[in-house]
Structure 1
Amino acid sequence: MEKQDKLYKTAFALALFTIIYNVAEGIISTYLGFEDESLALFGFGTDSFIEVISGLGIAHMVLRIQRNPESDRDPFERTALRITGVAFYILVVGLVVSSLYNIWTGHKPLTTFWGVIISGISILVMWVLVWWKRKVGRELGSAPILADANCTLVCVYMSIILLISSGIYELFKIPYIDSLGTLGLAYFAFSEGKECFEKANSNKHCCCD
């Protein structure tokens, strides 16, 4: 029982770390994305802020299943999921419209250097979180925590898209690559928004579990 309590505390600490990390990542990425006129980096940072809302639901979920592992998703979590889903859909519209506008006007970022740095750090941090959450989830035999770990992989995929688009532009200055990377982020944001509404309307842990 003592070991189980320690594992739940670890799971909650990981959820809090994810929230704090996403706040910091969001502030830095949106600021540098705006300064460097990199839409992909700015969109990546905006996504991080939305992940904070999702993270609050996850932290609440950990506390709920610690009290009762067999309990279903409660109103707080469902509300957080719906708010997150709406935010993702708004982000998708903003990213797609902005990307198409940039392509139409031929706009290019001043630099994507910070996109390379931030995405590289994010990939490393998110992989560690995925591994740690899976470890805790397996030891607890908790499907919700394992599902959350799998869903964290989406953040890894988005970081990889940012890394590729930022890296290619920084090396070769290929026109529109930043906008194409932004459209890739929009695809995953749409998938996350869709998943949020599906989870809010059911007791499934995650579409990717």
Structure 2
Amino acid sequence: MPATSPHSPELYRKAALLALITIIYNIAEGAVSVGLGVADETLSLFGFGLDSFVEVISGVGIWHMVQRVRRGGTEDRDAFERRALRITGGAFYLLAAGLVVTAGLSIYSGHRPESTVWGIAVSLVSISFMWLLIHHKTNVGRALNSPAILADAACSRACLLLSAVLLAASAGYELTGIAWLDSLGSLAIAWLSVREGREAFGKADGMACPCSCGCSNGG
């Protein structure tokens, strides 16, 4: 159970705000990434943007949980949160399948993106923002002794890993001009999406340690 203290209401307000910021950021990141990915024909950036949209569904579940706990509920997931997690898991699987097919066709046809400069820019912004979210979510989770908030911080680490994959694929293409690096980046995003999908279903079924990056309490 989460710890209770005179500071708990303030900390839960901060946790709810962090969850809301995560949702808004992922919507903005998804829209920018998908739009730029289509414009530059960059598959890895496009897939990264779709992944951000899927993360929004999970973020809504976390926000709902924090609000419910603030009103005196427990951290056991309710029907809404379990449904959101299952939708998230299914969406991640569909995204991964689409990326694998598209990447295969791109490699076969020798497709080259117009540019991956925007992929570099988006990934650097995302890495910086996710690092800040991880830092603050971990601090709040530790102060409240909340496994759910700490698990949410761990999921933000998975998002940071996705950003690092996008950076590697985008920078690699700009430096070398090797066409299949963009497709390789999208395949890596597909693989990570499968892991996130599996873990979303695991969380819906009550797994204690849901995220691919583990439930480490480290910052």
TM-score normalised by structure 1 residue count: 0.97
| Equivalent residue runs for 1:2-81 within 5 Å | 2-68=6-72, 70-81=74-85
| Per-residue CA distance 1:55-76 (angstroms, 9 max, x = gap) | 0001011122223464411000
- Calculate the TM-score normalised by the size of structure 2: 0.92
- Paired residue for 2:162, among 147, 154, 158? 158
- 1:143 shift after superposition: 1.1
1:48-127 matches, within 5 Å, as 48-68=52-72, 70-127=74-131
**Does structure 1 residue 144 correspond to structure 2 residue 148?**
yes
Larger helix percent? 1
Aligned 1:181-192 pairs, distance under 5 A? 181-192=185-196
What RMSD over aligned residues (CA atoms) do the two structures have, in Å? 1.2
Structure 1 residues 57-66 or 180-189, which shifts more?
57-66
Structure 1 unaligned residues grouped into runs of 5+ = none
1:92 counterpart letter in structure 2? A
Q: Deviations over 1:16-48 (max 9, x none)?
A: 000000000000000000000000000000001
Contact map agreement 2:83 2:204 (CA 8 A) in 1: yes
Q: Which moved more, 1:38-47 or 1:59-68?
A: 59-68
Report which stretch shifted further, 92-101 or 199-208: 199-208
C-alpha contact 2:75 2:148 (8 A) present in aligned 1: no
CA displacement at 1:171 relative to structure 2: 1.5
Q: Percent identity?
A: 51
Distance 1:206 1:68 in 2: 23
- Tell me the distance in 1 between the aligned counterparts of 2:101 and 2:209: 32
* Corresponding pairs, count: 209
Q: Which runs of 4+ in 1 moved over 4 A?
A: none
Q: 1:130 aligns with which of 123, 131, 134?
A: 134
Correspondence for 1:173? 177
Q: In the TM superposition, what whole-angstrom CA distance separates every residue of 1:108-157 from its partner, at most 9, and x where no partner exists?
A: 10000000000000000001000100000111111111111011100000
